[in-house]
Structure 1
Amino acid sequence: MRHLIDFGDLSRAEWEALYQRTSAIIDHPADFMDACKGRVASTLFFEPSTRTNFSFQTAMLRVGGTVFGFADPNSSSVAKGECLKDTIKMVSGYADVVIMRNPREGAAKAASLYSDVPVINAGDGGHMHPTQTTTDLTTITRMLGGVDGISIGLCGDLKNGRTVHSLIKALAKFDNVKFYLISPRELAVPDYIRSFMKEKGLWSVEVTGLENVIPQLDVLYMTRIQRERFVDPLEYERNKGIYVLTRRKLERARKNMLVMHPLPRVDEIALDVDDDPRAAYFQQARYGMFSRMAILSDLANQPRMKPDPVEIGTTPVCSNPRCITQTDHYLPPLTKMNGGVECCAYCDAALQK
């Protein structure tokens, strides 16, 4: 693994090796205090973050490295009009690993084309969030004993939920996983995820109600309705607060079901659920720090490699208004196949003929 852009690019063997390292760090953290001694991470957060930003910084410090970066692009040369390519070329000259969150879908893929050091996707718009996925898989494995054969309910904004998209692609690597996709119809999983699930032959059912399926679940993965992803404010108002998990609803759930959430929550999990032994989301956030320690101990120690030259683009082939190619026209026009459909290699949106 050179970059971590999309968890779907990892093999199951690579994940299992990463989990073994994560588990060793959880059990014996002192053994990894100098794993990144002398190494430097750069955190480039073009949109707000609490858990991901803080846990990456803490992770790098706990393995002996140091960190620099920004949490507000207005405090950098981005505010002066510097393009992503130049920012990455410059920062990768200073750091040993680049950790980036960007509201543009496909931005991490774009950054990897120009970086001399590994790039970690800390969230690219509503597209992917692979280190949240390593967090989620670590939580499920540690608390349930494994991932194969679980029934998982993904609830909330499945259209814009990058954590959900990454998790579905990751769970496809395991055996006999059942997916209950719980959302309003207008916030259902995007077409490229639906095509991916069909291509992989994954068992799934799409429903609009939570209470009828909760008795079937080993894991309930709640997500918030994301105000910042809505173009139409009225659409957000129609959907906010549509799913709220309460202690009463949990009475129908299995005694060992996990309640997970990538956080932050708004109102989709009532506060009184926090004291239920099935509530795993704060422990999940802590596991995220350990999984990022494992990732950094690998990627931050890789040698510098000058990337191959790429074509200079002129106009985007992708019509997704949220795609990085809509603003950074110099990017090469890269495509790939998803479920037999030609898609943008940056944001995975199907290309219009």
Structure 2
Amino acid sequence: MKHRHVIDLEDLTFAQLQQTIELAGKIKADPVKYSHVCDGKIMATLFYEPSTRTQMSFQTAMMRLGGKIIGFDNPQNSSVSKGESLKDTITIVSGYADIIAMRNPVEGSAKAASLYSSVPVINAGDGGHLHPTQTLTDLVTLSNEKGRLNHLKIGLCGDLKNGRTVHSLIKTMSHFEGNSFVLISTKELSIPDYIKDIMDKAGCPYEEVDDLQSNIADLDVLYMTRIQRERFASEEDYQAQKGQYILDTEKMSYAKKDMIVLHPLPRVDEITVEVDDDPRACYFKQAVYGMYGRMALIMLLLEDKDYFFHSNDKKFISDVKCKNPRCIVNQEAYLPKKYYLKDNHKICDYCDNEIE
């Protein structure tokens, strides 16, 4: 079965990924050339939780390609507030638009949306699960700023448990030759086991540490993340983790002269404003690179008839309930239960959590 949805960046083949990154570079070099390629096309941006960069980046990308936008940035301003299901929202909106970009705080929601959409769905973030276009942003940035996507030592610091940008980046970069990771977090915010399984399977070296300053010296890339208040069950739990990792000019003095600092933004207090003046700070440029990456992805999904993906060949198991309380199947009861076997473990096809 063929489809054109981007739920996980791994939906793209290596060749398609390279094609997208290269096109982003061409658009950046000559944006006027591409300013009318989406004339007459409509994108729906459905944002069920707050966003600045991702939402505006998608909207700007579509408008710079000559297209138009519809959608909402608050579900309370839509029929969702009246109890409309995800299925019904997507079915209706896909009849109005040519492409959908959706952010939803519930894990697996983008995969669920793709089951009912007649147009391409791009996952703009589904809870603490995945954020593929942020990873595309990161890849375009690395390609431009480091000149390569392989043989990089990448430090990831902060909320590695709930950081969907971290999960997506590791999943993708594990497939490039010679990459390794330093995972810097508290025990409470350590990387999920399913991401470790991906690195192990790819033969990608990684180490888990809890100190930033003593591990920054040999990094090629430092990826800082925010401790996400919205992902914690209580304010007390959040306060216990807040402020654990702060990148400042003193810590930067230990880093390589050509190391770059990335951050998906927004930041709170994890990078001091003094670091902004350091030429190695690339997080503001990173946001602009993201617009070009999304322009390329939108173009290919709407204009290139060969830019489709084959569904993964998985043997699904029915009628097994996912025990992840944050999974979409536990909020939208009509969804088909889709699980697959991986190394004799049952894995939810929506949220990638193991079914015990």
Unaligned runs of 5+ in 2: 312-316
Deviations 1:135-192 (A, max 9, x none): 0010011011001100000000000000000000110221010100000011001111
Distance in 1 between the 2:245 and 2:354 partners?
29
Mapped partners of 2:85, 2:203: distance in 1: 40
In the alignment, structure 1 segments of 5+ residues that lack a partner are none
Q: Residue 344 of structure 1 aligns with which residue? A: 348
The RMSD of aligned alpha carbons is: 1.7
Shift, 1:9, TM fit? 2.3
Q: What residue number does 2:323 align with?
A: 319
Alignment match, 1:252: 254
The Cα of 1:315 is off from its aligned counterpart by 6.7
Write the letter of the residue equivalent to 2:282.
A
What is the CA–CA distance in structure 2 between the aligned matches of 1:18 and 1:302, rounded to whole Å? 11
Instruction: Mark the CA change 1:351 to 1:60 in structure 2 (over 3 Å): closer, same or farther.
Output: same
Residue 221 of structure 1 aligns to a residue whose secondary structure is: strand
1:177 and 1:194 map into 2 onto residues whose CA distance is: 14
Using the alignment, how far apart are the partners of 1:198 and 1:338 within structure 2? 14
Matched, 1:332 2:336: yes
Match of 2:118 in 1: 116
Match among 160, 163, 169 for residue 162 of structure 2: 160
Describe the shift of the 1:144–1:329 C-alpha distance in structure 2 as closer, same or farther (beyond 3 A). Answer: same
- Distance in 1 between the 2:16 and 2:204 partners? 21
Alignment partner, residue 289 of structure 2? 287
Q: What whole-Å deviation, never above 9, does each CA across 1:73-117 have from its counterpart, x for those lacking one?
A: 001100111000000000000000011000000000000001000
Indicate how the Cα distance of structure 1 residues 171 and 126 shifts in structure 2: closer, same or farther if over 3 A, else same.
Answer: same
The secondary structure found in structure 2 opposite 1:205 is strand
Equivalent-residue separation in structure 2 for 1:287 and 1:302 (angstroms) = 22
2:41 pairs with 1:55: no
Give the corresponding residue for 1:184: 186
Match of 1:39 in 2: 41
| Distance in structure 2 (CA, Å) of the matches to 1:152 and 1:338 | 27
Provide closer, same or farther for how the CA distance between residues 321 and 191 of structure 1 changes in structure 2, counting only shifts above 3 A: same
CA distance in 1 between partners of 2:229 and 2:320 (Å): 27
- Please state how far the C-alpha of 1:302 moved relative to its aligned partner: 6.6
TM-score by length of 1: 0.95
Q: Is the 8 A contact 1:92 1:117 kept in 2?
A: yes
1:76-91 aligned at under 5 Å gives the runs 76-91=78-93
- Please report how far the alpha carbon of residue 232 of structure 1 lies from its aligned counterpart in structure 2 after TM superposition: 3.0
2: distance between equivalents of 1:247 and 1:300? 44
**1:13–1:337 CA distance, 2 compared to 1 (3 A):** farther
Inter-partner Cα distance in structure 2 for 1:314 and 1:80: 30
What letter matches 1:273 in structure 2? Answer: V
- Aligned-pair identity (%): 53
